[in-house]
Amino acid sequence: MLLVVLPEEDGPAIVIDIGTNTEVSLVNGREIIATSCASGPAFEGGHIARGVRAIEGAIDKVKFTDDKPSNIEISTIANCQPIGITGSGLVDIVSELLRLGVIEPSGKFKTDQDTFKDRFVGNTNDPEFVIVEGNATQTGQPITISQQDIRELQLAKAAICTGSTLLMRELKIEPDDLSEVLIAGAFGNYVNKESALAIKLLPEVPVDKIKSIGNAAGSGAKLALVSKEERLRTSRLATQIEYIELADHADFQDVYVASMRF
């Protein structure tokens, strides 16, 4: 929070530090409430069959051009042959497949869609959608996204969405009231903002209100180490922030289940 300086007249803002444990804070003038969400490792490539961390060859951006199965544009870290899918790439893929109707809002694949049915492999109970054929990867194996991968992403994004929603309910704030949505962490630097909005990972705000602020936790720690004034500010913030325990919230279960949908 040391890096977040918000003029009170700008209105409320949400800060989301995305990781295996995601911290969400809602700042409204001098009032700050915060919570922690067990979002899991999906945004870092964990629990995803072809998932990898942000290493060379990791697919970090995906776009279907002309809405055709043969026209998939991918970007990889270091511009080398793909080796797997990183978190931002996974969000892009699901966003695009939702847009094209290959994934339903419930998260289920529509394997019978004529345009894309040839890109499915596996059996009907466990289908996988081919992103990159095996002859174009470093491993020689195709890079796919499975139904289980989509479920893992739903669990992760539902946890974060629940945290944001319940904090806003606590202060009776609507998404339209937010002046900014600040995303911290390595994932936040690379995720496509439109894709994040499309899968309902973030509060529904105009895309120009979403800003990446990098490794805010690390930068804040450095500030506290080199500045007595910032260390004193840290102490003041610690007494100012009210922590909300999500699991104890009366609406937690209902909001979490509803947040699973795309």
pLDDT of 254: 97
* Distances from the Cα of 238 to the Cα of 33, 233, 241, angstroms: 11, 9, 6
Note whether residue 1 is domain-resident: no
Domain contains 2: no
From 106, 134, 151, give the residue that closes a domain: 151
Q: How far is CA 213 from CA 24, 57, 137, 210, 255, in A?
A: 14, 25, 33, 10, 27
Q: What is the pTM of this model?
A: 0.91
Give the side-chain half-sphere CA count within 13 A for 156.
25
Q: Three-state SS across 41-87?
A: CHHHCCCCCCECCCCCCEEEEEEECCCCCCCEEEEEHHHCCCCEECH
Q: Say if 3 falls within a structural domain.
A: no
The domain total for the chain is: 2
* Residue 1 pLDDT: 60
Last residue of a domain, which of 125, 151, 177?
151
> Would you give per-residue pLDDT tens digits along the chain (262 residues)?
666 655 555 789 999 999 889 999 999 988 999 999 999 999 989 999 999 999 999 999 999 987 766 789 999 999 999 999 999 999 999 999 999 999 999 999 999 888 898 999 988 788 999 999 999 999 999 999 999 999 999 999 999 999 999 999 999 999 999 999 999 988 888 899 999 999 999 999 999 999 999 888 888 788 888 888 888 888 888 888 999 999 999 999 999 999 999 9
**Res 225: pLDDT:** 87
Q: What is the pLDDT of residue 4?
A: 65
* Shared-domain flag, residues 33 and 56: no
Give the three-state DSSP class for 5. coil
User: Are residues 53 and 32 part of one domain?
Assistant: no
Whether residue 115 is found in the same domain as residue 129: yes
Domain residue limits at 129: 42-151
**Residues 54 and 146 placed together within one structural domain of the fold:** yes
For 112, how many CA atoms within 13 A lie in the half-sphere containing its CB?
0
Residue 78 has a CB neighbour count (10 Å cut-off) of 9
* Domain-located, residue 58: yes
Identify whether residues 106 and 17 lie together within a single domain: no
Instruction: Please choose, from the candidates 45, 4, 36, 28, the residue with its C-alpha nearest in 3D space to the C-alpha of residue 217.
Output: 4
| Sheet with 120-121, edge to edge strand ranges | 120-121, 128-132, 143-146
Question: Which of 151, 175, 196 finishes a domain?
Answer: 151
Collapsing DSSP to helix, strand or coil, 204 comes out as coil
pLDDT number for residue 60: 96
Identify the CA nearest to 67 among candidates 114, 108, 105. 114
CB atoms within 10 A of CB 118: 10
Would you tell me how many other CB atoms lie within 10 Å of the CB of residue 11?
Answer: 15
The two beta strands, 31-37 and 241-243, are parallel
